[in-house]
Amino acid sequence: MKIKDVSVRIAGLAGDGSLLAGEILAFTLKRRGFYVVSVKDFPSNIRGLPTNLTIRANLERIYSWGDHIDSLIAFEPSALKNHAGDVRNGGLIVVDEEFDLKNFQPNDVYFYSVPLRKIARDLFRREIFKNVIALGFLGHAFNIGHDELRNTLIFYLKGKDEKIIEANIKALDEGYKLAEKFVKERYEIERGSDSNRYYLSGNEAVALGAIASGCRFFSAYPITPSTEVLEFLAKYLPKYGGVTIQCEDEISSINMAIGASFAGLRAMTATSGPGMDLKTEALSLASMAEIPLVIYHAQRAGPSTGIPTKTSQEDINHILFAGHGDVSRVVLVPSTPEESFEFTFKAFNIAEKYQLPVIILSEQAISQNQQTIDNIPYNENLDWERGKILTDEMALQYLTNGKSYQRYEIKDDGISFRGFPGQRGVIVRYNSNEKTPDGFIDEECEYRDEMVKKRIRKLENIINDIPVPEFYGKESAKNILIGIGSSLGAMKEAVDRLNEENYGFSYLRIRSLLPLHEDHIYSLTKDKNVFICELNSFSQLRSYLSRIWGRKKNVFSIRKYIGLPFKPLELVKEIKRIIKKEI
Amino acid sequence: MKIKDVSVRIAGLAGDGSLLAGEILAFTLKRRGFYVVSVKDFPSNIRGLPTNLTIRANLERIYSWGDHIDSLIAFEPSALKNHAGDVRNGGLIVVDEEFDLKNFQPNDVYFYSVPLRKIARDLFRREIFKNVIALGFLGHAFNIGHDELRNTLIFYLKGKDEKIIEANIKALDEGYKLAEKFVKERYEIERGSDSNRYYLSGNEAVALGAIASGCRFFSAYPITPSTEVLEFLAKYLPKYGGVTIQCEDEISSINMAIGASFAGLRAMTATSGPGMDLKTEALSLASMAEIPLVIYHAQRAGPSTGIPTKTSQEDINHILFAGHGDVSRVVLVPSTPEESFEFTFKAFNIAEKYQLPVIILSEQAISQNQQTIDNIPYNENLDWERGKILTDEMALQYLTNGKSYQRYEIKDDGISFRGFPGQRGVIVRYNSNEKTPDGFIDEECEYRDEMVKKRIRKLENIINDIPVPEFYGKESAKNILIGIGSSLGAMKEAVDRLNEENYGFSYLRIRSLLPLHEDHIYSLTKDKNVFICELNSFSQLRSYLSRIWGRKKNVFSIRKYIGLPFKPLELVKEIKRIIKKEI
Amino acid sequence: MKRIISLKELAERTAGLASGHRACAGCSFPSIIRMVLGSSDYPVVVSNATGCLEVVSTIYPYSSWPCSWIHVAFENAAAVISGVESAYKALKRRGEIPQDKKIVFIAIGGDGGTYDIGLQALSGALERGHDFLYLLYDNQAYMNTGIQRSSATPFGASTTTSPAGKYLFGKVQDRKEIIEIVAAHRIPYVAQASISHWGDLIKKLRKAYEIEGPKFLSVIAPCVIGWGYKESETVEIARLAVETCFWPLYEIEKGVYRVNYKPKEKLPVKAWLLKQERFSHLNGREDLIEEIQKRVDEKWEKLLRLDGLKVF
Amino acid sequence: MKRIISLKELAERTAGLASGHRACAGCSFPSIIRMVLGSSDYPVVVSNATGCLEVVSTIYPYSSWPCSWIHVAFENAAAVISGVESAYKALKRRGEIPQDKKIVFIAIGGDGGTYDIGLQALSGALERGHDFLYLLYDNQAYMNTGIQRSSATPFGASTTTSPAGKYLFGKVQDRKEIIEIVAAHRIPYVAQASISHWGDLIKKLRKAYEIEGPKFLSVIAPCVIGWGYKESETVEIARLAVETCFWPLYEIEKGVYRVNYKPKEKLPVKAWLLKQERFSHLNGREDLIEEIQKRVDEKWEKLLRLDGLKVF
Ligand SMILES: Cc1ncc(C[n+]2csc(CCOP(=O)(O)OP(=O)(O)O)c2C)c(N)n1
Ligand SMILES: Cc1ncc(C[n+]2csc(CCOP(=O)(O)OP(=O)(O)O)c2C)c(N)n1
Ligand code: SF4
Ligand code: SF4
Ligand SMILES: [Mg+2]
Ligand SMILES: [Mg+2]
C-alpha cells in the first residue's frame, strides 16, 4: 500500500542546514500533491543551538503535526537523544556514523548509521553538505524521484553561486547512492492530484492579506515571531505605493500607524509579547480618538522574555483587557494561513467601519510555520469597506453652509464621518481627551456622557461582521472540546478518534474573542461536558469563557505550556483520563 | 436642634482661592470634632478653569459626600449655574453681588448676594481675598467661633509673609461683619468630642504607609492623580535614609524600582492611567523574574488622556489582566485613607513573601480627597515580613559546601530564597527568560514545566494574606449590592436607607480583586438579587465577577462614568427603578 | 532668504485665527501659537503632546488652532507626525494629493514631552529624516501636573519634586543640553529662540518652514505659576534670560553655528534668577549663584567659539 | 593613570571566569566579556539588555558571567542599573554596606538596545548622574532577531529590513552618532574602542572603572552572520574598521577630546566594506563607495580638529 501520511523530523543545530533540508523535502512533497504541515522548533538566530523541523504530509488537508514521526534525521547526538522516542515503531532513523552510540538503544525502527559528515568532508571539504546528502538518502528511502528533489533543490538555491549549486546537486546524488547501499526497506509514497497549491506561513499570509486589503502603511519593530511581516512588507509594500517603516520602538511604531490612519491611509502594525505591552497606551488612544487601526499580534511563550521563539496562547488576557479605561477593540483569532489572510482583510474593513483598533491574535505555531493551502481566499469581489468617509463634496458643503465639521458628531449608530486633514472645507481635530463633537477638550464634562454612549453604541453591531465559531461534529454529542488558534489540527483529529471510540464529541473553535458569540456558545455547551484546551498555565481562555457558565461543574481544562502546540494524542489521552476520573 | 451633618461647596476658578477656603473650613470642622469628607473637582493645574470643593462633615464617621449640599459659595456665575441645583431646600447660597442674575431663579433657599469682590478690592486691592471674606461670612452663618476659623487660617498660612497673614485675618473679620448685616437665620453647628483626628488623603496615606513599611526606594513619574505620593516622598523619604527618584518616564520608573528590589531594598512605584500601560512590560518581568515590587495605581477617567483629573473605576480590566503571558500579581483595593495605609503595608509583606508584584488599586476620589480618620492603623507590632531571605550565614555556606546558589530553586511552596548581589558566597542571577534554578536561560526548555508550576504554586496561599470582602447587613437580606473603592460611602448610606424602607439589602465591598474570594462571594450572592455599582461604562467589575455566577439572571449593573463618585441617592433611585422594572 | 514678516503683517495674517485659549493670565503660549501659525505660508498639520499648551489651546470653545490637528499622548508627538508625514508622501506618490502641494508638519511638545518621555520618539524621527518641524516650548518643568522637575529644569530651581529645603537647594542636576543632543543628530536646522525676541523667532520659524527634512526649534516659555513672577512680566522674564545669556539665541544650519544675538551688555544671571520665586531660596546663597553664573559663562564662551564654525 | 594590564595578566585574572558561551563560532562576544570582567579590580554587578550577547552568555550551562547579574527586558538596562546603583548608595548611607566597599555597576546593551529602544533610558540615567558604566557592543543591527536595521547600521548596509535590491541600495540613512549624542550629555567619560585593539580597550575599561559618575564605552563587535565574513576574520574586520577610520578610537574625558590612535596609513574604506557580505552589492557602485568614503573622511577630519580640545 502506498503511504498517504508521512512525517519526518530533521534535527540538528541552528545554522547547520537542517531547516533548509526540511524545507526542500516539504516543498517537494507539496509539489507531489501532498498537504504539508510544518513545525519549526528553533531557539534564536544564534548558530549552534539545537533546532529541528518537523513536516507532516497527507493527501487530505491536515492541520496538525500528528503524534509521532515516521522518520528522523539526527545530525547531532543530542538530537538523537531528544527525538528518537518520537519515532513510531517501524519508522526510520538516520544518524551520522561518527556518533558515539554506546548508550543508545534504538526502538523497533530501521536504524541507519551512515557516513554523512565523512562524505561531506571528503567530497566538498565542508561538513555543511551533510544536510543535502541526508536529504538524498531520505529521497531514496521514500522512493521520491531523484529529479523531483533535485528540482526543488535548484529552486531553493536560485541566485546562489553556480559552483555551490553544482556541489549541492552532487551531494544529493551521493545521498541517493548512500541509501542504495544501506536502506533495507523502501517506503512507497503516494502522489496527489494538485501540485500547484500554496505553501505559506501565517506571517506571509498576513502580509499578503495586508497588501490585498489596501493597507499602504506599515510600521513595526522587529520581534519574534512576527518579524517576517515587517521583512516581507519592507520588501514588497513599496511596489504597491505603500510605506513600510521600522521604528525605534513599539511605542512609536503604533503611533506612526495612528498618524498615517489620521492622514487617511489604511495602516497596520505588528508585534508580539513585550512589544504589545508597549503598545497598550496607544491602543487606548486609538479607541478614544476613534482611529481605525489593525494590530497583528503573534503570541510566544512568556511571561516577559520567556521562551521567545516558541508558541503559546498566553496573551489572551492581555489582548482582551490591556489598556487603561474602557478600551473598545475587536479581537480575531485565525488558525490557518487562509484565515490569517482572510481575517486580516476583515480586520481592515471592521477597523474602518467602526473606527477602532482591531487585533489579529495569532501565535508562533501559526505565524512561522508553513502549511499547504488550496487557495489564498482572495477574489475580486472582496470590497475595501471604508465606512463613513467624508467625501470631498461633503467637505466642501461645510465651506458653503458655514458650519464646522464635527469629527465626533453624535450619531445613532455611534459612527461619525471621518474627514482628513487637508480636505478643503474642514478642519479635522482628533483628540485623546474626552471631547466635544468638534474634537475640542470637553473640560467641563458637558459631552462625557454622550460620548461614552456613542462609543458603546458603535460596538453593538460588530457581532454581525466577525467570524462565527467553527462547530465540528454532531450537536447531539454530549461532550464538546473548545479551543483556538493552533489547536485546530489536534482538536479535529482528537474528536475524530474519540468518536471512533464512541465518546460522543464535537469541537467548537472560537474565531473571534471580542465580541464573543456568547449566546451561541452558551446554547452549544448547555448540558454538555466542556473540555477547554489552551496553551497557557492560567487557563486564560477558560476563565474568560466562564462568564458564560459561571462555576458550571463539568468544565475541564487541558493546558500545555512548554512552547509547542497540542498533538492529537495528548488531547485524546487527557480527555479520557478526565472522563474516567471526573465524570 | 444643633446640626450634626453639614455640607458646603465652594466653587470658583482654579487659582482663585476657592480650594484654600474650603480646606480651611474643612480643617476647622475637623478640629471641632467632626468627621469630614471632601471631594475636590478640578480640571488641571491651569488657572482660570472651573473648580470646586465639596466638604461634608458629620459627627459619626462618614464615607460619602452625600446627595445634596446645604450651602454653596459661588464665586462665578457659571459656578452658581452649575451647582445651585444641588442645594437642598432651606439651604444657603452666597454669591457676589456683581453677578448678573437676571436669569437665575433661586430655589427655596437663603440667597445672599453680597459685595465680596468689592470689599476685597476696596480694602486689599486684590480680588483674591474674596475667598477668605466668604469664609468669614460662612463662619458667622454657621455660628463657628471667629477664633476657630482664625486659628486654622493662621495654621494654613504658616510661613507666609506677615502682611499677607494680617490681611487675611482682616478679610476674615470683614466676612463675619458682612454676614451680620445679611444673614437672616444662623445654623447651629454641633461640637464633637475628639478634635485630634487625622485628616488625610489617600495619596498621603499611601506615602506614609510606604515609609512605615520600610520602603526605602521610590521611583515614579508625575501623573494625576497619584503625583502627590511622589511629591511627598521626594520631601520625606530622604529623612528615613531612603531614595526618591523621578525618572524620565514610567518605563524607567518601574525598572529602577526593579533594580532596587534586586539590590535588596523594599521598592515601590506609583502611577495612573496611561502610566500603567507603559509599566505593563516590566510588570510581566517582575512576575517572571520573581521580583517583589509594590505598584500604586490611582485610577482616573479614560480611556487615553480622557478626563485626567476625575475619578473612575475604569482600569479594573487593565490592572487584573495587562501584561503578556501568565503574569502573577496581587491586586488590593482600598476605600479609605486607613485602608490606603494598611493595604500599602500589607502589599510590601505580600510582595516579599511571595516574590511578585502587588498592585494597590485606588482612584482619584480616594487618592486626592481628604477624610477625617480616627487613627493611622499603625502599631509597633506590625512586622515587616520579608519572606525567605538568604541570610549572610546561609550565603557563606555555599562558599564552604561548594554548591552554587539557586535563586530559583524549586521548592514545595514555590518560593525560593532571595539572595542579594554582593552577598559573600553567592552569585545572584535574575532572569526574564525562562530559566534554570540557577537563573540561566533554559534554552532547551528542560525546566519550563517545573518553573511554571513553581510560579503557580506560589499563588495558592496568598488568599490567606489578603483583606476579605467587607460584608454589611444581614445575610438573610434578599438583595445585595456589590462595589469597590470610592463607592463605599454611597453603598453604606444607600443600604441603610433602603433597609429603612424594608427593601432587604446588604452590601459586599470587595477589597482584593486578585486573588478573589470566589467561594465567599458565591455563597453570599446565591439566590439573591445582585446589584453591582461601578464607575465605568463597560461593567468591568460585573464582567469579572460573572465568572462566579455566569449568566445568572438577576444581576444588575449600576454604572456611572462622568468622573465623580456615586451619591447615595443615585444608588437608591437606580436600585428602586430596577426592582420595579425587572424583578 | 525670505524677508522678515513685520509685526503688523503678522497681526493681519493672524486676524483669522481663533484667539481663544484658557491659559493662566500672563502665560506665554498665546503668542507662541500665534507666531507659529501666522508665520506659515502653507497649510499646517499639528500633532500636539499632552501638556499645558495642548490643554489650554484646545479646550472647548476656546481653541486657538485654525488647522487640523491631532492631540496625541504624552510621548508621541514626533512619532505621530512621522506617520502623518510619511502617509502624505505616499499619497503624493500615488497621485492622491498633488505633488506640489506643500504642507507644513509640526510636532509640538513641552520640555517634559521632549527632554524626557518623548526623547526617544524625537531621536527616531530625526534619524529617519522626516520632513517636519519639532517645536519645543520650554517652560522648564512639568507644569500641567503641578510643577515637577524635568531634565530641562535649571540647576538650583525649586519644584515639587526637587524642593528647596533642608535636604536640597532645589534641583541638583544641570539641564540637559537639548540643542546639542539634537544637533548631534546632524539634522539640517536646529535653533533656539525666545518669545521676547519675536523678530528672531519668526525668522527662525519661516526658515524652518522652507527647509526640507527635520527641523528643531526650542522656544523659552516662561510660566507664571511655575516660575513665580507677576503676570505682566512674562516677556521681561524671557528677555532677561536672553540678556543674561542663560538662553542664547542661536542656530545651527547645515552644521554651521550662528549666534543670532549678542547682548551689548551681558547682564549677571542673578538679575534673571531673583525675579523668580523658584530661585528665591538662592537669595543670599552667593556660592550657588556664582556656580550658576560660571556655568552660564562657560556655555556662552563655548558658543562664541563655535560661532561661524561648521561642525558637521 | 593605572598601568595597562598585559594580555598575560589578563589571561591569569580571567582564569577563574567560566569560559562557556554559546555564540556563533567567530563571534566577538567572548573576548569582550572576558576583557570587561578581567579588567575590573572590584566586584561587578551587571544588568544586561535582551540581545545576542545576553542570550549567548547566559544559557545554561554555558554562562560566562562569574558575577551577579540581572537580565532585564530590551530597553531597560540603564534604568535597572540606575535602580541598583541608587539602592547601593542608600544601603551605604544606612550603614548596611561598608562605605568604602566599591562596586562597579555595568549596564550592557547592543546597538538596538542603545541607539533605538533604550536611548531614553540611557539619556535619563546620564542626566541623573548615576555612577555606572554603560557598555555598548555595537554589531550594527538587530542580530538576535535575524539582522534587521538599527540606527547604528551603516549607510548602504543590507539588512532584512533595508534590503539591497530593486528599490533600495541597502540602508538609506546614516548611523546615529551615538558618541556625540552621549557626549552632549556632558558626562565625565565617553569612549569608543575596538576588540582588535585590546590594549586600548582595556585601558579604557580600567579608566572608566576609576571615574565617578556615568561612563559610556562603545565597542565595535563584528558579527559573522550579520556582516557576512569568515569565522576566522572577526578581529581582522574590526581592525580594518579602525584602520580605515570608519571606527576611530577616541575618547572624551571631562570634555576633552583625545584621538587614541591615528593609523599610519589610512586605508580606503572600501577595503573594509567589500570584505563583508552586507556591503557586497556595493561592488561596482563606485558612486556609493565614494559617498561612504567622503563621510568617513569628513568625520575623521572633524575628529582631528577636535583632538585635544575641551568642548564642555
Ligand atoms: C504616559 C504619561 N505619563 C504622564 C502623564 C501626565 N502628564 C501629563 S502632562 C505632564 C507634564 C507635561 O510637562 P511638559 O511636557 O513640560 O509640558 P507643560 O505641562 O510643562 O507645558 C504629565 C507628567 C501622561 N499624560 N502620560
Ligand atoms: C520590547 C521588545 N521589543 C522587541 C524585542 C525583540 N528583540 C529581542 S533582541 C532584539 C534585537 C537586539 O538588537 P541589539 O540590541 O542590536 O542586540 P544584538 O542582538 O544585535 O546583539 C529584538 C528586536 C524584545 N525582546 N522586546
Ligand atoms: S501653568 Fe504655566 S505654562 Fe501652564 S498655562 Fe499656566 S502659565 Fe502657562
Ligand atoms: S548572530 Fe552575530 S552577534 Fe549574534 S552570536 Fe552570532 S556572530 Fe555573535
Ligand atoms: Mg514644561
Ligand atoms: Mg546589534
CB-CB under 8 Å, A257 with C73: no
- Chain B residues whose CB is inside 8 A of the D55 CB are 441, 443
Provide the pairing of β-strand B110-114 with B87-96: parallel
The overall average pLDDT reported for chain A is 95
pLDDT at residue A125, rounded to an integer: 92
Given an 8 Å threshold on Cβ–Cβ distance, is D83 in contact with B282? no
pLDDT at B3: 87
* pLDDT band, residue D65 (cuts 50/70/90): confident
- Rounded to an integer, the average pLDDT of A454-467 is 97
The pLDDT value recorded for residue A44 is 74
The pLDDT value recorded for residue A372 is 95
In the structure, which protein residues have their CB atom closer than 6 angstroms to any atom of ligand 4? A 45-47; D 23-24, 27, 29, 52, 56, 139, 143, 223-226
Residue range D159-179: mean pLDDT, rounded:
94
- Mean pLDDT, to the nearest integer, of B210-234? 97
Distance of alpha carbon C149 from alpha carbon C141, whole angstroms: 5
Contact B234, B217 (CB under 8 A): no
State the Cα angle at A410 between A405 and A415, rounded to 5°. 90
Is residue B381 very low, low, confident or very high in pLDDT (cuts 50, 70, 90)?
confident
ipTM for the predicted complex comes to 0.96
Q: Give percent of chain B with pLDDT exceeding 70.
A: 100
Instruction: Return the pLDDT at B1.
Output: 67
Average pLDDT, chain C: 91
Q: Is the pLDDT of residue D4 over 60?
A: no
- Confidence band for D17, pLDDT divided at 50, 70 and 90: very low
Contact list in C for residue D174 (CB cut-off 8 A) is 186
Q: Is residue A344 scored above 80 in pLDDT?
A: yes
Label residue D63 by pLDDT band (50, 70, 90).
low
Whether A332 and A301 have beta carbons less than 8 Å apart is answered as: no
> Please, what is the average pLDDT of chain B?
95
Distance between CA atoms of residues D55 and A336, nearest Å: 31
- Contact in structure between D250 and D192 (CB atoms under 8 Å): yes
Predicted local distance difference test score (pLDDT) of residue A380: 84
What tens digit of pLDDT does each residue of D88-123 get? 999 999 898 899 999 999 999 999 999 999 999 999
Tens of pLDDT, residues D224-256: 999 999 999 999 999 999 999 999 999 999 999
pLDDT at D13 over 90: no
More confident residue, C9 or A577: A577
Does residue B53 surpass a pLDDT of 90? yes
> What is the pLDDT, as a whole number, of residue B220?
98
Over residues B18-41, mean pLDDT: 94
Instruction: Specify the pLDDT at position C12.
Output: 53
Q: At what angle do helices B146-156 and B130-141 cross, to 10 degrees?
A: 150
How confident is the model over B506-542, as pLDDT tens digits?
Answer: 999 999 999 999 999 999 999 999 999 999 999 999 9
Q: D180 alpha carbon to ligand 4 midpoint, in Å?
A: 26
| B45 interfaces chain C, CB cutoff of 8 Å | yes
What ligand has the least distance to the C-alpha of C195?
A: 3
| Number of Cβ pairs < 8 A linking chain A and chain B | 237
What does the pLDDT look like over B151-170, one tens digit per residue? 999 999 998 899 999 999 99
pLDDT of residue C3: 42
Identify the nearest ligand to the CA of C222 by its number.
3
**How far is C-alpha A508 from the geometric centre of its chain's CA atoms?**
19
Contacts of C176 in chain D (CB under 8 A): 123, 127, 185
Confidence of residue C18 (pLDDT cuts 50, 70, 90): very low
Q: Which single residue is written with the C-alpha cell 484546551? A: A533
Q: pTM higher than 0.95 for the full model? A: yes
Confidence of residue C14 (pLDDT cuts 50, 70, 90): very low
CB of D185 within 8 Å of a chain C CB? The answer is yes
- What spacing in Å lies between the alpha carbon of C142 and ligand 5's midpoint? 4
Residue D21 has pLDDT above 80, yes or no: no
Q: Residue C17's pLDDT is what?
A: 46
pLDDT at B402: 87
Q: Which residues 90-149 of A have a C-beta within 8 angstroms of C?
A: none
Sheet holding B479-483, edge to edge: B470-472, B505-509, B479-483, B529-534, B555-559
Whether the CB-CB separation of B298 and B227 falls below 8 Å is answered with no
Cell of D283: 561592488
**Whether D117 contacts chain C with CB within 8 A:** yes
Q: Which residue has the cell 502665560?
A: C27
Percent of chain C with pLDDT over 90: 79
Residue range A123-135, pLDDT digits in tens: 999 999 999 999 9
Q: Cα separation of D100 and B533, whole Å?
A: 58
Secondary structure (H, E, C), chain D: CCCCCCHHHHHHHHHHCCCCCCCCCCCCHHHHHHHHHHCCCCCEEEEECCCHHHHHHEECCEECCCCEEEECCCCCHHHHHHHHHHHHHHHHHCCCCCCCCCCEEEEEEECHHHHHCCHHHHHHHHHHCCCEEEEEEECCCECCCCCECCCCCCCCCCECCECECCCCECCCCCCCCHHHHHHCCCCCEEEEEECCCHHHHHHHHHHHHHCCCEEEEEEECCCHHHHHCCHHHHHHHHHHHHHCCCCCCEEEECCEEEECCCCCCCCCCHHHHCCCHHHHHHCCCHHHHHHHHHHHHHHHHHHHHHCCCECC
| Contact assignment for B441 to D73 by CB distance below 8 Å | no
**Average pLDDT of the segment spanning C224-243:** 96
The mean-pLDDT minimum among A16-20, B366-370, C59-63, D55-59 falls in: C59-63
Which positions in chain A touch D21 (Cβ < 8 Å)?
Answer: none
In the reported structure, the alpha carbon of residue A325 is separated from the centroid of ligand 4 by a whole-number distance in angstroms of: 42
Where does the pLDDT of residue C9 fall: very low under 50, low under 70, confident under 90, or very high at 90 and above? low
For the record, the C-alpha cell of D279 comes out as 556591503
Residue nearest to atom 11 of ligand 1 (CA): C142
Q: Residue A50 is inside which H or E element, if any? A: strand A50-58
Do the Cβ atoms of B433 and A304 come within 8 Å? yes
Cα C135 to averaged position of ligand 3 atoms, centre (Å) = 17
Q: Find chains touching chain D: ≥3 CB pairs under 8 Å.
A: A, B, C
Contact at 8 Å (CB) between A300 and A289? no
What does the longest C-alpha to C-alpha distance in chain D come to?
Answer: 66
* Res. D61: pLDDT tops 90: no
| Residue A444, pLDDT score | 81
C-alpha angle B253-B254-B258 in degrees, rounded to nearest 5: 120
Omega before residue A238 within 30° of 0, cis: no
Residues of B in contact with C167 (CB under 8 A): 238-239
User: B369 pLDDT band (50/70/90 cuts)?
Assistant: very high
Which residue of C lies nearest to D149 if distances are taken between CA atoms? C128
Query: Tell me, what's the pLDDT at D18?
Result: 45
Task: Give A259-287 as a DSSP string.
Answer: HHHHHT-EEEEEE-HHHHHHHHHHHHHHH
Q: How confident is the model at residue C16 (pLDDT cuts 50, 70, 90)?
A: very low
Confidence of residue B114 (pLDDT cuts 50, 70, 90): very high
Q: Is C127 touching D (CB cutoff 8 A)?
A: yes
> Least CA distance to A14: which residue of chain D?
D24
Q: What percent of chain A has pLDDT over 70?
A: 100
Q: Among A76, A249, A250, A304, pick the best mutation site for testing chain D contact (most D Cβ within 10 A).
A: A249
Residue D260 has pLDDT above 60, yes or no: yes
- Listed in sequence order, the residues at least 6 apart from C102 whose beta carbon sits closer than 8 Å to its beta carbon are C42
Q: For the residues B287-315, what does the mean pLDDT come to?
A: 97
CA B443 to chain D, closest CA, distance in angstroms equals: 6
| pLDDT (0 to 100) of residue C13 | 52
User: Distance, in angstroms, between C19 CA and closest chain A CA?
Assistant: 15
